[in-house]
C-alpha cells in the first residue's frame, strides 16, 4: 500500500460496529434480523460493514476517491491474509476465513463505486441492471455463501431480488443521487415521460412520479424471483432472505401509498408491513 493510499484510507469515514448498526437500522430491510443467532448475525453485519464502507468512500470521502478505493482493495487483500488495518476489515477478516467467502463479490462492490465516479446518468433499464450487478447482487451472493447455500441457480434468483432492492432504493433517493451528480432513473424513461433535470428535485412532479411507478413495477417483477429462491432455502437462511424480500415489498407498498412521491414521509416502509410480508413469505401465502 502506498503512503498516499494509506493516508486516504485513514481519511475515509470511520464506521465502527456501532455506526454500522445505526446505519443498518435505516435500511428498508433487516440487515441481520435479531431472530438469527449471533453466529449468523455477525457475518452478515461484517459484510454489510464492508459494503457501507465502499459506498461511503464512493459517495462522500474527501480527496481522491479512486485512490481510496484502490486502498480499500489493498485492505481487502490484507483481510484475506489476516493482516487488515482498517477496523471494519479487521472485523471482516475472521468471517472470510471461517466462511471461506469468495473475493470476487467484494471486488465487484469496490468496482461499483469506481464506476460511480464517472457515472452521470443511466441511459436504459438494461444499463441500470448492469449497475446493480456490481453494486447490489454481490451482497446477496455473499449472504448465500454465509449460509452455505450458494448454487448457480440460487445466485441467479438472488441477483434478481438484489437488483430489485437496489432499484427501489434509487427510486427513494432521486434527489440525493442528483445532488451527488448522478441520475439512476433511466434517461429513456425520463424522456418518454417528459422529465427534465429540474424535475429531479423535491417536490416531485407528477411526471417524475410516473417514472418512479414504472421502475417500481419492474422491481416488483424482479422481487417475484424471491418466491422460487425461498422454496430452495430452509432454516435461518430462509428467514434472513425472507426479511430482505419483505423489506422490498413493504417499500414498494409505501411508495404506492405515497403516490410514488419518494419525498413524502409516507414513502418509507412500516415495520408492521415488513413483518406481515415476511410472515406471508415464510408461510407461502400472499400478503394482504
Alpha helices in 25-85 (DSSP H): 38-60, 65-80
How many angstroms separate the CA atoms of 90 and 87, rounded? Answer: 5
Domain end, chosen from 118, 138, 159, is at: 118
The tens place of each residue's pLDDT in the chain, 288 residues long, gives 556 556 656 655 555 556 665 665 667 777 777 888 899 999 999 999 999 989 988 888 878 899 989 999 999 999 999 998 888 899 999 999 999 999 999 999 999 999 999 999 999 999 999 999 999 999 999 999 999 999 999 999 999 999 999 999 999 888 888 888 899 999 999 999 999 877 887 788 899 999 999 999 999 999 999 999 999 999 999 999 999 999 999 999 999 998 998 777 667 778 888 889 989 998 887 654
Residue 208 main-chain phi, psi, to 5 deg: -70, -35
Domain end, chosen from 118, 145, 172, is at: 118
Q: All 3 cell numbers of residue 249? A: 415489498
How many distinct structural domains can be found in the chain? Answer: 2
Residue 112 pLDDT:
97
Domain end, chosen from 64, 92, 118, is at: 118
Whether residue 190 sits in one domain with residue 89: no
Domain holding 137, by residue range, is 120-288
Domain CATH for 105: 1.10.600.10
Place of cell 424522456: 191
Whether residue 194 sits in one domain with residue 138: yes
Report the C-alpha dihedral over residues 33, 85, 136, 35, rounded to 10 degrees: -10
Does residue 183 contact residue 177 with C-beta atoms inside 8 Å?
Answer: yes
Residue 203 pLDDT:
80
pTM: 0.91
Whether residue 103 sits in one domain with residue 32: yes
Whether residue 184 sits in one domain with residue 67: no
Whether residue 176 sits in one domain with residue 90: no
How many angstroms separate the CA atoms of 183 and 212, rounded? Answer: 13
Whether residue 135 sits in one domain with residue 114: no
Amino acid at each position: 500500500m502506498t503512503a498516499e493510499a494509506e493516508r486516504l484510507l485513514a481519511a475515509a469515514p470511520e464506521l465502527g460496529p456501532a455506526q454500522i448498526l445505526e446505519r443498518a437500522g435505516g435500511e428498508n430491510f433487516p440487515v441481520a434480523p435479531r431472530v438469527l443467532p449471533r453466529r449468523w448475525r455477525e457475518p452478515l453485519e461484517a459484510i454489510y460493514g464492508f459494503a457501507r464502507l465502499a459506498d461511503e468512500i464512493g459517495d462522500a470521502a474527501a480527496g481522491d476517491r479512486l485512490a481510496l478505493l484502490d486502498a480499500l482493495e489493498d485492505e481487502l487483500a490484507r483481510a484475506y491474509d489476516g493482516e487488515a488495518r482498517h477496523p471494519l476489515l479487521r472485523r471482516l477478516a475472521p468471517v472470510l476465513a471461517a466462511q471461506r467467502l469468495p473475493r470476487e463479490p467484494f471486488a465487484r462492490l469496490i468496482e461499483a463505486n469506481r464506476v460511480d465516479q464517472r457515472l452521470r446518468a443511466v441511459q436504459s433499464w438494461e444499463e441500470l441492471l448492469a449497475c446493480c450487478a456490481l453494486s447490489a447482487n454481490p451482497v446477496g451472493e455473499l449472504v448465500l455463501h454465509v449460509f452455505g447455500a450458494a448454487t448457480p441457480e440460487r445466485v441467479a434468483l438472488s441477483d434478481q431480488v438484489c437488483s430489485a432492492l437496489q432499484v427501489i432504493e434509487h427510486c427513494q433517493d432521486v434527489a440525493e443521487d442528483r445532488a451527488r451528480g448522478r441520475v439512476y432513473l433511466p434517461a429513456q424513461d425520463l424522456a418518454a415521460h417528459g422529465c427534465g433535470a429540474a424535475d429531479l428535485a423535491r417536490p416531485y412532479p407528477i411526471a417524475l412520479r410516473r417514472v418512479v411507478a414504472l421502475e417500481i413495477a419492474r422491481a416488483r417483477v424482479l422481487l417475484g424471483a424471491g418466491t422460487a429462491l425461498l422454496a430452495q432455502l430452509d432454516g435461518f437462511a430462509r428467514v434472513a432472505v425472507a426479511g430482505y424480500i419483505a423489506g422490498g415489498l413493504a417499500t414498494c407498498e409505501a411508495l404506492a401509498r405515497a403516490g410514488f412521491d419518494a419525498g413524502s414521509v409516507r414513502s418509507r416502509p412500516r415495520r408492521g408491513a415488513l413483518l406481515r410480508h415476511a410472515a406471508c413469505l415464510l408461510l407461502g401465502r400472499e400478503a394482504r
